[in-house]
Amino acid sequence: MAGSRSFRQRLVDTGTTGLFILPCVITLSLLLIYPFAYGFYVAFFKTNLVNKWTFVGLDNFVKAFTDSKMYSALWVTVKFTIVVVALHFLLGIVFALLLNKDIAGRTFFRVLLVLPWLFPEVVIANLWKWIFNASSGIFNSALQALGFINEPMSWLGSMTLALPCVIFVCVWKGYPLVMIQMLAGLQSIPTDRYEVAKLDGANKWQIFRYVTFPGLKPTLMVTLILDTVWWFKHVTMIFVLTSGGPVNATTTISIEIYKQAFEYSNAYGYSAALAVIVFAICVLISLVQRRLLREDDK
């Protein structure tokens, strides 16, 4: 009888647990799983998403892997992501270390350095678009006034300068997030570790190498994964600044996906296939980064 009651109790407990989890499961299913599954499903069709659905099997994937445009867009994406993320971390760590010190006006500098992160991406992209504008941009005017250039330059219209300019804007926009994470990480490192290191005669570099860096590593890795995936699939600022141009100089894979779906021939199936490939790449990136972290811990 006791066993039966216990079984019933277990059933009730399971039901209660299930009830608590249910809202989360429903929300996740609606917001994440359904769109993902739908996107994956669409990748196997030639479709206008409404009344024309022709099953094409793996054709969209075959086309993607044989299309030189995808490789060219992927290469631009890889260059863009590596440089943006590397500079985010460089600036983020340097500024976090500075702001972690007891310097005069620390609050003011904290607010100032976080400002780019507070503005919407569209606003920032439009702002820099006008700053870089060839005919009436303040950047050209300043360089001309200082005598660095004789005539206006087309920064966002140059095949060689457009990507560096886009990277610069994305670094400017994105470093505060890394800085805040690093600052939080730095402040969670117990101060007695620094005291012990100093007592042991460690110099500044050794303190950073053996105390600060290991203490920051968990935050560092989470931020690295988030930042890499975020910028790998970034669209907004690149689209506003250059729309992927000139020619294909700043066409990342996400820009290519958007154009395939909405600007070329409404190739929703093909662009969904590209999106599935990007998803796989992002999963791979996060797996590699997690593996590296685990191996390093061992």
Partner 1 sequence: MRKVRNKFTASLLAGSVILSGFGAMGAAAEENAEVTEVKYLSTTILETPEGDFEQEMIDKFNEAHPNIHVTVEGVPAGDLNAKLVALATSDDLPAFVMGSETTMTALYDMDMLASAEDVFDADYLEGFVEDNIASYYRDGKLYGIPYFGGAQGIVYRKDVMEELGLEVPTTWDEFVEVLQAMTRDTDGDGTIDNWGIAIVGTRNGSGATRFQPIIHNFGCDEFYQDEDGMWQTDIGSEKYTAALKAFTDLNNEYGVVPPGVVEVGYPEAVALLTSNQANMLITGSNAIGAIIAQAPELKGKLASMPNIPVERSVSAAGGFAFFITTKDEEEQAAAAEFIKYFLEDENEIDFAELTGRIPIRKEARANERVSSMPELEGFLSALENVWIPPTIPGYNEIEDILSESYQAVFTGTMSVEEASAIAGERAQGICDAANNE
Residue numbers of the site for partner 1 (CB under 8 A)?
A: 48-52, 133-136, 150-159, 243-249, 259, 261-266, 268
Residue with Cβ nearer partner 1 (88 or 129)? 129
Residues 6+ apart with CB under 8 A from 69: 248, 256
84: three-class secondary structure by DSSP: helix
In the complex with partner 1, which residue's Cβ is closer, 244 or 269?
244
Nearest to 74 by CA among 84, 64, 59, 87: 64
Shorter beta-carbon distance to partner 1: residue 174 or 244: 244
| Smallest distance, partner 1 to C-beta of residue 250, A | 10
Min CB(47)–partner 1 separation in Å: 10
The CA distance from 121 to 123, in Å, is 5
Q: Cβ 149 to partner 1, closest distance in Å?
A: 11
- The DSSP secondary-structure symbol of 94 reads H
Minimum gap (Å) between residue 280 Cβ and partner 1? 25
Closer to partner 1 at the Cβ: 215 or 246? 246
Q: Is 83 in contact with 167 (CB distance < 8 Å)?
A: yes
Instruction: Report the residue number, 157 or 215, with the smaller CB distance to partner 1.
Output: 157
Nearest to 89 by CA among 187, 225, 291: 225
CB of residue 71 to partner 1, shortest distance in Å: 17
What ranges in the chain are assigned the alpha helix state H? 2-28, 34-42, 59-66, 68-99, 106-118, 121-131, 138-145, 162-187, 191-199, 204-207, 213-232, 236-241, 253-262, 268-297
